[in-house]
């Protein structure tokens, strides 16, 4: 399969204080690095999942793909075209191919526009003529399983699940090749969650769309993605094929995450790796391996040196000193 | 519950019986709760599960008498040991809230005052006790230490915004338990937290529940946490209790079609990788225009045409395991 998107060693940083304040404080580095050195590839027609807790940099990385934040270094290539440093005019046609489903399903829909206007707005933005707005809008709603009676509804009249579907219809409007879905099921009930995920899979199958799914729900990742990356403080700690990671989680953080969502079975074996403490601040990153403050396998070396990126299986990488000893 | 007769001799911390609550709205009368009965035995953790809109919050608000003005309690009683909460005066209510029943909410910032220090709030909540400030302060420190706040004595001066989300929830738990209540209501206490913090908070609640020997009403839609944490489980659907029993009855021997469907839908339960996840077809019924028969009939997958058009009766399958379904009448295994 061809690579649709290649992200290579991307770093994204945010200012923590103004330029003047930094000079006064003699602070040479008034930045936090939200994403540091993330690399991934997404192939045509596959689903890639980004997993991690809040503040891990998942959303920031995803937003950089469509140019909503600018990385300080690295490269983002879409179909072999470099996106970094592209001006707005050159970027615009590419944005037809990459669509985004935002995290807040209702908040990302303009409260003053009807569903009809919301889902056909992408055509206006890109100056694409459509003959019959209602017909096009009905077609899009039909794709996401909503009846045409919703055309005149306003966002406040929609339930969480319906708002997601409208967001999805808007993302599908320009027949994109890649859809970035930021927490597509957060806040939904389990039965509705299944409907949305099934819909995403069906569309992927029919239209050969690639998905970048951002989520913290591991059960969702397990069933819907081909490959995944686990992020911690802006870095990938483990990447690989989803099946392999679930079968053999290697990084201590992956294990912590996996055992943090208990199975719905009171008699399931609980070999829990209890997480210690909370996520450190990005302003004071821990030295050495950044997970050492919460790791139960920590040893002296972890506090001082940064662990190397190691390949431990086919397309399966992780950054930790020890993987054999833990078993 | 009809099994109340059997269990009458066993003491209950809280007993909700046949509670029906309506809300008057512009669109008509919303029947939010219908004949809800829930028993909470001493030292037990009771899980309340169901999808959004099933009435979980209305149950909590009824217990605390925090229902909005347009709510109308049609029938039923809520007994805290032997007193009916629904009959209490505001003075009587003030005596039980926070002292005998306390609550942890989803977002700890809703229960902490952002303008007062933690220490002030932790001592204020002990206003009923006739002990001096030093003793109250010491008690606050002890309690904060027990919930895992490092350097509790120094942190008494801190304000809620100076704590992280997980720490704030720990403080909310400390405030809820400092008066050693008989019943702790935990309303989605971990939903706003990250996965690793979520499990830490659940483990903390487990330890504290054993120490304080209180009962817990744990409201959640996370089935994994309910299975892990609870002794008893009550399943609600569209304002009715459809099934209740001990945690194994529900997770291993679910009898109501809705409970079964709900469990099947949880992707965490499906071990082999699948791209197509199960769902519950159909929609929750409109609570304004309800017909007076089985609440789940439109979405039921085992419904046969023999189901009578009446409210499904409550059947006790095994001691303590109740299900509200026509088809369980003959003891059929659905």
Model pLDDT, residue A190? 85
Q: Which residues on chain A are in Cβ contact (under 8 Å) with B201?
A: none
CB B49 within 8 A of CB B245: no
Superfamily of domain B4-100+183-193+213-328: P-loop containing nucleotide triphosphate hydrolases (3.40.50.300)
Collapsing DSSP to helix, strand or coil, B141 comes out as helix
Residue among B223, B248, B274 whose CB faces A223 most closely: B274
Residue among B52, B225, B268 whose CB faces A189 most closely: B52
Q: Which residues on chain B are in Cβ contact (under 8 Å) with A261?
A: 195, 198-199, 224, 268
Domain boundaries along the sequence of chain A: 3-45+55-87+217-262+272-319
Distance from CA of B134 to the nearest CA of A (A): 30
CA B237 to chain CA centroid, nearest Å = 14
The mean predicted confidence, pLDDT, of chain B is 89
Q: Which residues on chain A are in Cβ contact (under 8 Å) with B225?
A: 262
DSSP state of B293: S
Residue among A53, A220, A242 whose CB faces B196 most closely: A53
Model pLDDT, residue B181? 95
Beta bridge partners of B48: B219, B234
- Angle at the Cα of B52 from the Cα atoms of B48 and B53, rounded to 5 degrees: 100
- Res. B108 pLDDT band, cuts 50 70 90: confident
Average pLDDT over residues B271-291: 86
The rounded distance, in Å, linking the Cα atoms of B185 and A51 is 31
Main-chain dihedrals φ then ψ at residue B151, nearest 5 degrees: 60, 45
Model pLDDT, residue A324? 52
Residue among A219, A223, A266 whose CB faces B227 most closely: A266
* Alpha helices by DSSP H, chain B: 4-7, 56-63, 90-96, 118-124, 133-146, 152-155, 165-177, 195-212, 223-229, 247-252, 257-265
The rounded distance, in Å, linking the Cα atoms of A92 and B247 is 55
CB-based burial label for A154 (10 Å; 0-12, 13-18, 19+): middle
- Over pLDDT 70: what percentage of chain B? 95
The rounded distance, in Å, linking the Cα atoms of A219 and B135 is 48
The rounded distance, in Å, linking the Cα atoms of B197 and B183 is 24
* Alpha helices by DSSP H, chain A: 19-24, 58-65, 88-95, 115-125, 133-143, 160-172, 190-207, 218-224, 242-247, 252-260, 300-304
Q: Is A278 on the interface with B (CB under 8 A)?
A: yes
Q: Is B200 on the interface with A (CB under 8 A)?
A: yes
Length of chain A: 327
Reported ipTM: 0.82
Which residue is closest to B50 within chain A, CA to CA?
A189
Average pLDDT over residues B233-248: 95
Q: Is the pLDDT of residue B1 over 80?
A: no
Distance from CA of B223 to the nearest CA of A (A): 5
Of B130, B129, B158, B133, nearest in space to B144 by CA: B158
Mean pLDDT, chain A cut into blocks of 10 residues (327 residues total)? 90 87 82 91 94 89 93 93 89 92 90 95 92 92 92 92 93 94 87 90 92 90 93 94 92 89 84 81 88 89 90 90 59
Average pLDDT over residues B106-127: 92
- Please judge whether A223 and B275 are an interchain contact, meaning their C-beta atoms are less than 8 angstroms apart: yes
- Please judge whether B227 and A264 are an interchain contact, meaning their C-beta atoms are less than 8 angstroms apart: yes
**If you write DSSP's letter for every residue of A217-270 in order, what string do you get?**
-HHHHHHH-SEEEEEETTEEEEEEEHHHHHHS--SHHHHHHHHHS--S-TTS--
The rounded distance, in Å, linking the Cα atoms of B229 and B136 is 31
Q: Is A54 on the interface with B (CB under 8 A)?
A: yes
The rounded distance, in Å, linking the Cα atoms of B142 and B117 is 17
Cα torsion B83, B87, B93, B98: sign: positive
- Please judge whether B199 and A243 are an interchain contact, meaning their C-beta atoms are less than 8 angstroms apart: no
Q: Is B150 on the interface with A (CB under 8 A)?
A: no
Residues 6+ apart with CB under 8 A from A2: A43, A44
The rounded distance, in Å, linking the Cα atoms of A302 and A288 is 6
| CB contacts < 8 A (A, B) | 116
Q: Is A281 on the interface with B (CB under 8 A)?
A: no
CB B249 within 8 A of CB B320: yes
Q: Is B231 on the interface with A (CB under 8 A)?
A: no
Q: Which residues on chain A are in Cβ contact (under 8 Å) with B55?
A: none
- Please judge whether A243 and B273 are an interchain contact, meaning their C-beta atoms are less than 8 angstroms apart: yes
CB B140 within 8 A of CB B127: no
Q: Which of residues 205-224 of A touch B (CB under 8 A)?
A: 216, 218-220, 222-224
Residues 6+ apart with CB under 8 A from B126: B136, B139, B140, B178, B179
In the CATH hierarchy, which top-level class contains the domain A3-45+55-87+217-262+272-319?
Answer: alpha beta
Distance from CA of B52 to the nearest CA of A (A): 7
- Please judge whether A190 and B274 are an interchain contact, meaning their C-beta atoms are less than 8 angstroms apart: no
DSSP state of B214: -
pLDDT tens digit string along B148-164? 998 899 999 999 999 98
Residues 6+ apart with CB under 8 A from A201: A224, B275, B276
- Please judge whether A223 and B270 are an interchain contact, meaning their C-beta atoms are less than 8 angstroms apart: yes
Q: Is A93 on the interface with B (CB under 8 A)?
A: no
Strands B215-219 and B28-40: unpaired
Q: Which residues on chain B are in Cβ contact (under 8 Å) with A272?
A: 199
CA A261 to chain CA centroid, nearest Å = 19
Of A158, A152, A227, nearest in space to A192 by CA: A158
CB B43 within 8 A of CB B211: no
Collapsing DSSP to helix, strand or coil, A70 comes out as coil
Q: Is the pLDDT of residue B334 over 80?
A: no
Model pLDDT, residue B180? 93
Q: Is the pLDDT of residue B184 over 90?
A: yes
DSSP state of B240: E
DSSP state of B62: H
- Res. B333 pLDDT band, cuts 50 70 90: very low
What's the half-sphere exposure (Cβ side, CA atoms, 13 Å) at A153? Answer: 19
Model pLDDT, residue B6? 43
Residues 6+ apart with CB under 8 A from A230: A51, A52, A236, A237, A238, A239, A245, A251, A253, A254, A257
- Please judge whether A190 and B223 are an interchain contact, meaning their C-beta atoms are less than 8 angstroms apart: yes
Q: Is the pLDDT of residue B134 over 90?
A: yes
The rounded distance, in Å, linking the Cα atoms of B288 and A278 is 45
- Please judge whether A266 and B265 are an interchain contact, meaning their C-beta atoms are less than 8 angstroms apart: no
Mean pLDDT check: name the lowest of A183-187, B22-26, B201-205.
Answer: A183-187
Q: Which residues on chain B are in Cβ contact (under 8 Å) with A190?
A: 51, 221, 223, 262, 265-267
- Please judge whether B275 and A222 are an interchain contact, meaning their C-beta atoms are less than 8 angstroms apart: no
* Residue to substitute from A264, A278, A293, interface B, most B β-carbons within 10 A: A264
- Please judge whether A259 and B199 are an interchain contact, meaning their C-beta atoms are less than 8 angstroms apart: yes
CB B2 within 8 A of CB B316: yes
Residue among A223, A261, A275 whose CB faces B200 most closely: A275
- Please judge whether B228 and A53 are an interchain contact, meaning their C-beta atoms are less than 8 angstroms apart: no
């Amino acid at each position: 399969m061809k690579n649709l998107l290649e992200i290579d060693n991307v770093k994204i940083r945010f200012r923590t204080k103004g330029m003047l304040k930094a000079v006064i404080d003699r602070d040479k580095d008034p930045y936090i690095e939200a994403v540091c050195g993330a690399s991934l590839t997404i192939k045509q027609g596959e689903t890639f999942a980004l997993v991690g807790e809040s503040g891990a940099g998942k959303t920031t990385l995803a937003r950089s793909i469509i140019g909503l934040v600018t990385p300080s270094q690295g490269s983002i290539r879409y179909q072999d075209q470099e996106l970094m440093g592209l001006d707005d005019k050159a970027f615009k046609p590419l944005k037809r191919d990459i669509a985004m489903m935002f995290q807040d399903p209702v908040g990302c829909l303009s409260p003053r526009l009807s569903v009809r206007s919301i889902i056909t707005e992408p055509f206006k933005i890109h100056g694409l003529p459509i003959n019959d707005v209602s017909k096009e809008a009905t077609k899009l709603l039909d794709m996401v399983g909503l009846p045409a009676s919703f055309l005149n509804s306003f966002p406040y009249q929609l339930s969480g699940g319906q708002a997601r579907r409208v967001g999805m219809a808007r993302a599908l409007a320009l027949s994109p090749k890649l859809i970035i879905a930021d927490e597509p099921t957060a806040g939904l009930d389990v039965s509705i969650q299944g409907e949305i995920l099934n819909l995403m899979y069906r569309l992927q199958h029919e239209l050969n769309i690639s998905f970048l799914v951002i989520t913290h729900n591991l059960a969702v990742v397990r069933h819907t993605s081909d490959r995944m990356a686990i992020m911690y403080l802006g870095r990938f700690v483990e990447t690989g094929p989803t099946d392999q990671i679930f079968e053999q989680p290697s990084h201590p953080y992956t294990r912590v995450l996996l055992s943090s969502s208990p199975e719905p079975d009171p008699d399931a074996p609980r070999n829990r790796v209890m997480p210690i403490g909370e996520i450190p601040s990005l302003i004071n990153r821990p030295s050495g391996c950044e997970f050492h403050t919460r790791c139960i396998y920590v040893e002296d070396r972890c506090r001082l040196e940064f662990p190397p990126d190691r390949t431990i299986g086919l397309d399966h990488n992780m950054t930790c000193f020890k993987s054999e000893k833990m078993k | 519950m009809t099994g109340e007769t059997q269990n009458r001799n066993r003491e209950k911390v809280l007993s909700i019986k046949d509670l029906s609550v309506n809300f008057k709205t512009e669109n008509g009368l919303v029947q939010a709760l219908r004949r809800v009965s829930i028993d909470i035995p001493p030292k037990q953790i009771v899980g309340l599960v169901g999808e959004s809109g099933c009435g979980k919050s209305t149950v909590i608000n009824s217990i605390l008498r925090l229902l909005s003005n347009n709510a109308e309690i049609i029938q039923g009683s809520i007994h805290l040991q032997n007193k009916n909460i629904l009959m209490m005066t505001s003075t009587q209510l003030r005596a039980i809230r926070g002292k005998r029943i306390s609550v942890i909410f989803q977002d700890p910032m809703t229960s902490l005052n952002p303008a007062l220090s933690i220490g002030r709030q932790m001592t204020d909540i002990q206003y009923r006790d006739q002990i001096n400030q030093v003793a109250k302060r010491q008690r606050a420190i002890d309690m904060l230490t027990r919930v895992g706040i490092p350097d509790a004595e120094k942190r008494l001066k801190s304000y809620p915004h100076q704590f992280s989300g997980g720490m704030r929830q720990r403080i909310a738990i400390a405030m809820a338990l400092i008066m050693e209540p008989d019943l702790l209501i935990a309303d989605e206490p971990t939903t706003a937290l990250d996965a690793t913090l979520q499990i830490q908070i659940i483990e903390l609640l487990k330890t504290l529940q054993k120490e304080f020997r209180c009962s817990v009403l744990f409201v959640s839609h996370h089935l994994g946490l309910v299975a892990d944490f609870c002794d008893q489980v009550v399943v609600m659907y569209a304002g009715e209790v459809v099934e209740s029993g001990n945690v194994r009855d529900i997770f291993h021997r679910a009898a109501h079609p809705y409970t079964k469907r709900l469990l099947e839908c949880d992707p965490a339960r499906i071990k082999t990788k699948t791209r197509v996840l199960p769902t519950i077809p159909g929609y929750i019924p409109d609570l304004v225009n309800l017909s007076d028969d089985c609440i789940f009939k439109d979405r039921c997958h085992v419904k046969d045409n023999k189901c009578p058009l009446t409210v499904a009766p409550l059947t006790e399958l095994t001691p303590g395991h109740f299900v509200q379904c026509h088809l369980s009448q003959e003891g059929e295994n659905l």
